[in-house]
Amino acid sequence: MNGTAIQAERLGKMYQVGALRPGFKTWREGASDIASAPFRLAASRLRSGNGHPAGEETNTIWAIRDISFQVPFGQALGIIGHNGAGKSTLVKVLSRITEPTEGRALVAGRVGSLLEVSAGFHPELTGRENIYLNGAVLGMSRSDIRARFAQIVDFAGVERYLDTPVKRYSSGMSMRLAFSVAAHFEPEVLVVDEVLAVGDTGFHKRCLDKMAEAVADGRTVVFISHNLAAVTELCRQGLLLEKGRVAAAGSAAEVVVQYLAMGRMEEGRAVIDSAETDGSDVRFVGVSVGPPGKEPAPQIDRDEGVEVTVEYEIRKPVAGCQINLELWNYDGVCVLTTGSRDVDPTSTYREEPGRHRMTCRIPAPYLRAGLYSIGLEAAVPDEGVLAQAPYALTFEVVDLGLPEARIVESTRGAIRPVLPWSRDGGPDA
Span 186-215, average pLDDT: 77
Q: Which of 22-31, 331-340, 387-396 has the lowest mean pLDDT?
A: 22-31
Average pLDDT, the chain: 80
With CA atoms as reference, report the closest residue to 307 among 267, 263, 360, 346. Answer: 360
Span 66-76, average pLDDT: 93
> Which one has a higher pLDDT value, 166 or 41?
166
Express each pLDDT in 241-293 by its tens digit: 998 999 999 998 888 878 876 665 557 888 886 544 445 788 899 999 999 99
> Which one has a higher pLDDT value, 221 or 22?
221
Q: Which of 9-18, 174-183, 399-408 has the lowest mean pLDDT?
A: 399-408
Q: Report DSSP letters for 203-251, one per residue.
A: HHHHHHHHHHHHHHTT-EEEEE-S-HHHHHHH-SEEEEEETTEEEEEEE
316 with 353: CB under 8 angstroms?
yes
In terms of average pLDDT, the best of 24-28, 37-41, 190-194 is 190-194
Give the pLDDT of residue 141: 85
pLDDT over 90 at 201, yes or no: no
pLDDT over 70 at 336, yes or no: yes
264 with 395: CB under 8 angstroms?
no
Say how far apart CA 271 and CA 119 lie, in whole Å. 33
Spatial CB neighbours of 263, under 8 Å, sequence gap ≥ 6:
373, 391, 392, 393, 394
Rg of the chain over all Cα atoms, to the nearest angstrom: 25
End-to-end CA distance of the chain: 63
Fold (topology level) of 266-405 = Coagulation Factor XIII; Chain A, domain 1 (2.70.50)
Give the pLDDT of residue 54: 47
The CATH class given to the 62-261 domain equals: alpha beta
38 with 92: CB under 8 angstroms?
no
> Which one has a higher pLDDT value, 94 or 418?
94
pTM of structure: 0.63
Cα–Cα distances in angstroms (integers) from residue 131 to residues 1, 113, 171, 214, 222, in the given order: 29, 15, 16, 20, 23
Say how far apart CA 247 and CA 18 lie, in whole Å. 27
Give the pLDDT of residue 394: 86
pLDDT over 50 at 110, yes or no: yes
Q: How confident is the model at residue 149 (pLDDT cuts 50, 70, 90)?
A: very high
Q: Where are the domains of the chain?
A: 62-261, 266-405
3-state secondary structure 50-87: CCCCCCCCCCEEEEEEEEEEEEECCCEEEEECCCCCCH
